[in-house]
Structure 1
Amino acid sequence: MSRFKILRWKKLFGLFMQNNKYLKVFEISFLHAAKNYRTIIGLSLFLVVCMIIFSNLWEVLSVKTRMLQMNRNQLLWYVALNQWVLIAIPRVDRDIQFDFQTGKLTYLLTRPISYLKCVFFEGLGTLIVNLIGLGIVTFIVTTCFVGWLPIPFFSWCVFILLALLAGILEMIFFMMIGVSSFWMHDCEPLAWIWEKFLFAFGGLILPLSIYPQYLQTIANYSPFPLILGGRSSLVFDFNFHQTSVIFFSMLAWILIASLILVALFRKGLKNLTIEGG
């Protein structure tokens, strides 16, 4: 084997070992979340309550407005798919804010590991456990309420993939909110505002179809429908074109949000260094 090939394999091995650190973070977070079954039970109960409340709300709206072409069964499955992802997303913004306020961030920055990647993979482990646990509850409860949803197995696989991407996208935005701790003492108000925009423009509280056309246009140019309503509505009208649009739109928004996150974090570190924090 030539020297060039040896150096190349050493470089590949080094990259694998470097990424293996983040896989270990993911593994620890996944196992910790899996053992914390009490949290899953609590989230499941909250999920069931939300499903009942919003399904009744949307059923009333469908009667009052006569603009929703969905029956009660479709409404409950729509609400279930929305709530499933929404409740499963971990609040990584609070973790980042805690690290900043307690000074733990300064300690973590000296370690040979990327802080943002560490937070991401830690949140990803929790997200996947929550999606699995809450997904089982969502499927069982909704099926008991309104019956089985007659769609192909491939469609279910697509819904699961889109749910994971939606959770990742929302988690990255929560990381951006957490990074705002560099400039804000408390980022909770910013998270509150973000969630209200998500509920309104994502189609959680009210269906986007009853919004004025200009609000629908604004919502479609935002990531909110991808996280909630736009993704969940595929269960009623599944087609390859719309699925592809949502899938690639999610990837684009994940890339854009990641670049903004890295830029904000570097800007925050620069300000922290200048101020001597």
Structure 2
Amino acid sequence: MQTEVATARSAGLITRLKRRVRLSTLKYLAILHVSILNNLAYIMEVFFRALLLVVLVFVLTQLWTTTFTLHGSRVLKGFSIADMIWYLVAAEAIALSLPPLTRRIDQEVRSGQLAYLLGRPASYVLYNYAHYLGERLVRLLMNILIGSMLALVMAGVPHFTWQGLLAWPLVAFIALSIDFVLHFSIGLLAFWSEETQSFSLIASRLTLVLGGVLAPLEIFPQPLRSIAQALPFSAILYGPSRTLVHFEAARLGALLIQQCLTLLIGTFIMLTIYRVAVRRVNINGG
């Protein structure tokens, strides 16, 4: 009898847990949906922002064309000029899709609005993550559309493998999540700093230079190449872009391990900062 009661209680607990998870998932999916619709309402603004990618890729392409000409070779470190153009498009599409997350968190903290947002029946971190994903996905897709048209004109049809095309959405999604953790953590530093935009600027520049957005990391001289590949920035831009252009199963496995470790460690640091920050709000009577 007692065994049957314990089994029934366990089944009821599992059912309630599943229901809570399902409702919570639907709640954040609704936030994601609203964020996408809000950004689609201003699609022309997103379009004109994406035109910056055309300028950057065109300038970088001219630089690399000259470099290939001076080098006297059609292939440089395993990349042809066509591969380089598609790599630049993939990297710039991710880099230029970053929304002003740090600035928004910074303003909410400094204005005191955070104290009211914490009272919502939703996790502040997950709410911002869903909102961030909706905004970033719209920007990313627009960048991919415009960048692909430019690359088709300048480099022709790409020679992507089906494995690379299937793997890219996964590694790109993890890269966007790592970027969220990085910039959300920087935004929370507003609890201790008057202004966090300087930290955000440093992080974005490090990501651009050491993340491989200007060139694949194979081009870098040693030991800078090894240092850049070991840093988490390469998991955001270089890894996904190279997976798309030059797919290798062994490199994909190493990239996924690097991304997952970076995401786990970054999430732990972010949540630690968040808990300390929320405690400061409670102590100050916010």
CA distance in 2, matches of 1:236, 1:133: 19
User: Counterpart of 1:76?
Assistant: 85
**1:242 counterpart (235, 248, 251):** 251
In the alignment, which residue of structure 1 is the partner of 2:52? Answer: 46
**Sequence identity (%):** 23
CA distance in 2, matches of 1:216, 1:3: 57
1:5-154 matched pairs, under 5 angstroms: 5-64=11-70, 68-154=77-163
Q: How does 1:88-237 map to 2 (within 5 A)?
A: 88-237=97-246
Alpha-carbon deviations, 1:243-272, whole Å to 9, x = none?
Answer: 121123212211111111100111122233
2:187 maps to a residue whose letter is G
CA contact (8 A) 2:86 2:245 kept: no
Unaligned runs of 5+ in 1: none
Which deviates more from structure 2 when the two are superposed, residues 122-131 or residues 156-165? Answer: 156-165
Letter in 2 for 1:142: A
Match of 2:4 in 1: none
Give the direction of change, closer, same or farther, for the CA distance of 1:226–1:62 in structure 2 (3 Å limit): farther
Question: C-alpha separation between the residues in 1 aligned to 2:31 and 2:66?
Answer: 46
Consecutive unaligned residues in structure 2, runs of 5 or more: 1-6
Cα shift at 1:141: 2.0
String of CA shifts for 1:112-135, please: whole Å, max 9, x gaps: 211111101110111222222222
CA contact (8 A) 2:88 2:214 kept: no
Using the alignment, how far apart are the partners of 1:127 and 1:23 within structure 2? 15
The one-character-per-residue Cα deviations of 1:53-92 (angstroms, maximum 9, x if unpaired) are 1222233344456764433211111110110111112221
Q: Deviations over 1:29-51 (max 9, x none)?
A: 11112222112211221111111
Contact preservation (8 Å) 1:202, 1:228: yes
Alignment: residue pair count:
277
| Distance (whole Å) between structure 1 residues aligned to residue 183 and residue 155 of structure 2 | 33
Partner SS, residue 19 of structure 2: helix
Q: Deviations over 1:183-219 (max 9, x none)?
A: 1111100011111111221122354334342222221
Which residue of the partner structure matches residue 261 of structure 2? 252
Q: Distance in 2 between matches of 1:210 and 1:75?
A: 11
Which deviates further from its counterpart, 97-106 or 130-139?
A: 130-139
Distance 1:55 1:10, change over 3 A: same
Q: Aligned-pair distance for 1:144?
A: 2.1
Structure ID, larger Rg: 2
Q: Distance in 1 between matches of 2:27 and 2:168?
A: 30
CA distance in 1, matches of 2:218, 2:141: 30
- Give the deviation of 1:163 after TM superposition: 2.0
Residue identity opposite 1:42 in structure 2: F
Q: Which amino acid aligns with 1:25?
A: I
Q: In 2, Cα distance between the equivalents of 1:11 and 1:207? A: 46
By how many angstroms is 1:228 displaced?
1.5
* Structure 1 stretch displaced more, 178-187 or 61-70: 61-70
TM-score, scaled relative to structure 2:
0.88
Deviates more, 1:36-45 or 1:257-266: 36-45
Does the C-alpha gap of structure 1 residues 161 and 43 become closer, same or farther in structure 2, counting only changes over 3 Å? farther
Contact 1:76 1:142 in 2 (8 A): yes
SS at match of 1:169: helix
